[in-house]
């Protein structure tokens, strides 16, 4: 044991002296169990994982067969002596794991299930380990668990089958991926299924340009498609746009035509004086994905939708200034609606317009040369050209991403914010998450996703309420700000809108 510990310290010595790269990986392999059935290790698969991590510029360290004493006392100390605050850490575990009293535990090789005593004193709490990493201000933390719970003696003392749902509530910048679903009854794996999780993780890390979200969703879907007994599960509370490797260079394109030059720039509508952004036609997956937080039935099933025609969308929600111009030039003149309680009248003209009925919002858009967006157009545009993006942010620490959660949020505004105060999405659109809910032209139906058209869906033919999307300055960021979240209502003080214009000759005459 003393020799092993000394070698381990020597391996980490350059890192502890401040020479570590910003990316570090730690692989823990427990297989030579003494009181439960030993596990077979796929060394070729592990070598491929290490090679993929090295190619992604990780400094890789491996430790095998930790006893209770070393797993409990030395793991944190040795690892944290090497990883600096702000570093990216990938922690991979292979071995037995079990749940007890709502927590998950990594099982040391000398664990004896026949002995008495609380599990938390004889195995390593995974929640406690993740909390220590967070307290030490490690940056992005990726926890990959390729564990088996299929040992009769372990199941006899566990408080549930499989692994428990991990509690990441107070842990910042963390992603958790396990090879099996939560609370799943363990099933025997065939020879081809052993190592399948690690194989797909390695391939995804090697793939040029893979993001963290693509690793999580890709591992889940690919392993489940190839195995009857494995169903990977993931959770994430990371706001970092992390890539394992650089994406491939873009393909060469033909010389830009005159029409491309026109659409390559934001254009101002000469009627409402609002900037508009070109949105190309395309396909996307609409609705709540398995990785989304708290999916609701009316957001399912996720389904492919094709937007067959390009359009122009308001770069921001319609501003007070634009609506005032519309009201003043209408025949007869229109009265401004009552200002929301969080504002002092309509004097601040760069705030988004609110408290509109869907009919009044549609009338404004008609005057501007367009209409309200359909729900499908809104979600397609909100995804910013990333067909499978799950959410633009999913943690309250995303200070510069959106206006949310009122006075409890960590952004810069307690109430509604002026437009363009946060980063735009991939299409160059602002405030599609937070600030104000946005009215769409679709009537609301809780069953519509199961029956909607595959091309250019326009919602039910009739209804009593409209679909509103995007969340507001008072929204819970973990629920309402995800792109797939659906809400309904007639409008109100925290509801605004933006317009879309067809990509036509008439529209291009309006745009400058």
User: pLDDT (tens digit, 9 = 90+) per residue, 278-327?
Assistant: 999 999 889 887 667 778 889 888 889 999 999 999 999 999 999 999 99
For the whole model, what pTM was predicted? 0.52
What tens digit of pLDDT does each residue of 102-124 get?
Answer: 889 999 999 998 888 888 888 99
Which residues face 147 on adjacent strands? 95
Burial label for 382, CB within 10 Å (0-12, 13-18, 19+), is buried
Which of 226, 218, 181 is CA-nearest to residue 201? 218
Burial label for 252, CB within 10 Å (0-12, 13-18, 19+), is exposed
Domain ranges in the chain?
7-237, 258-510
Which of 465, 472, 403, 462 is CA-nearest to residue 440? 465
pLDDT value for 16? 39
pLDDT value for 190? 54
pLDDT value for 155? 77
pLDDT value for 461? 93
Give me the architecture of the 7-237 domain, per CATH: 3-Layer(aba) Sandwich (3.40)
Distance of CA 422 to the CA centre of its chain: 18
Using CA atoms, how far apart are residues 22 and 387, in angstroms rounded to an integer? 30
pLDDT value for 204? 95
**Low-confidence residues of the chain: pLDDT under 50:** 1-21, 256, 258-259, 391-397
Q: Which CATH class is domain 258-510?
A: alpha beta
Using CA atoms, how far apart are residues 96 and 151, in angstroms rounded to an integer? 8
pLDDT value for 200? 93
Which of 206, 231, 228 is CA-nearest to residue 219? 231
Which of 136, 305, 163, 329 is CA-nearest to residue 230? 163
Q: Would strands 88-100 and 23-29 be described as parallel, antiparallel, or unpaired?
A: parallel
Other Cβ atoms less than 10 A from the Cβ of 106: the count is 23
């Amino acid at each position: 044991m003393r020799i092993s510990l000394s070698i381990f310290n020597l391996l980490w010595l350059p890192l502890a002296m401040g020479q570590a790269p910003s990316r570090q990986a730690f692989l823990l392999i427990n297989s030579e169990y003494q009181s439960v059935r030993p596990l077979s290790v796929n060394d070729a698969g592990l070598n491929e994982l290490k090679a993929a991590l090295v190619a992604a510029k990780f400094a890789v360290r491996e430790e095998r067969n930790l006893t209770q004493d070393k797993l409990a006392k030395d793991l944190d100390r040795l690892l944290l002596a090497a990883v600096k605050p702000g570093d990216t850490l990938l922690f991979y575990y292979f071995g037995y794991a079990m749940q007890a009293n709502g927590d998950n535990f990594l099982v040391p090789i000398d664990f004896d299930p026949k002995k008495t005593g609380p599990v938390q004193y004889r195995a390593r709490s995974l929640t406690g380990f993740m909390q220590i990493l967070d307290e030490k201000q490690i940056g992005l933390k990726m926890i990959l668990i390729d564990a088996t719970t299929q040992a009769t003696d372990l199941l006899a003392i566990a408080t549930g089958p499989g692994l428990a749902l991990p509690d990441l509530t107070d842990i910042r910048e963390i992603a958790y991926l396990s090879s099996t679903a939560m609370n799943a009854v363990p099933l025997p794996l065939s020879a081809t299924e052993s190592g399948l999780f690690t194989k797909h993780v390695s391939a995804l890390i090697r793939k040029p340009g893979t993001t963290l979200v693509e690793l999580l969703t890709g591992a889940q879907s690919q392993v489940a498609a190839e195995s009857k007994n494995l169903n990977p599960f993931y959770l994430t509370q990371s706001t970092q746009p992390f890539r394992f490797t650089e994406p491939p260079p873009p393909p060469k394109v033909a010389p830009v035509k005159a029409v491309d030059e026109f659409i390559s720039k934001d254009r101002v509508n000469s009627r409402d004086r609002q900037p508009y952004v070109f949105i190309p036609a395309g396909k996307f997956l609409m609705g709540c994905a398995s990785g989304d937080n708290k999916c609701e039935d009316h957001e399912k099933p996720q389904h492919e939708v094709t937007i067959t025609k390009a359009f122009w969308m308001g770069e921001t929600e319609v501003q007070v200034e634009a609506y005032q111009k519309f009201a003043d030039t209408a025949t007869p003149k229109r009265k401004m609606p009552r200002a929301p309680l969080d504002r002092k009248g309509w004097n601040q003209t760069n705030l988004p317009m609110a408290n509109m009925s869907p009919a009044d919002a549609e009338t404004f858009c008609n005057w501007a040369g367009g209409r309200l967006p359909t729900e499908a157009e809104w979600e397609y545009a909100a995804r910013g050209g990333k067909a499978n993006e799950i959410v633009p942010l999913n943690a309250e620490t995303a200070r510069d991403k959106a206006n949310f959660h009122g006075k409890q949020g960590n952004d810069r505004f307690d109430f509604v914010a002026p437009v363009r105060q946060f980063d735009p999405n991939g299409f160059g659109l602002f405030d599609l998450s937070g600030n104000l809910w946005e009215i769409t032209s679709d009537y609301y139906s809780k069953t519509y996703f199961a029956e909607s058209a595959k091309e250019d869906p326009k919602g039910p033919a009739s209804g009593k309420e409209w679909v509103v999307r995007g969340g507001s300055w008072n929204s819970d960021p973990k629920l309402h700000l995800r792109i797939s979240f659906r809400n309904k209502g007639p409008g109100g003080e925290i509801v605004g809108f933006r317009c879309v214009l067809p990509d036509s000759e008439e529209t291009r005459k309006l745009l400058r």
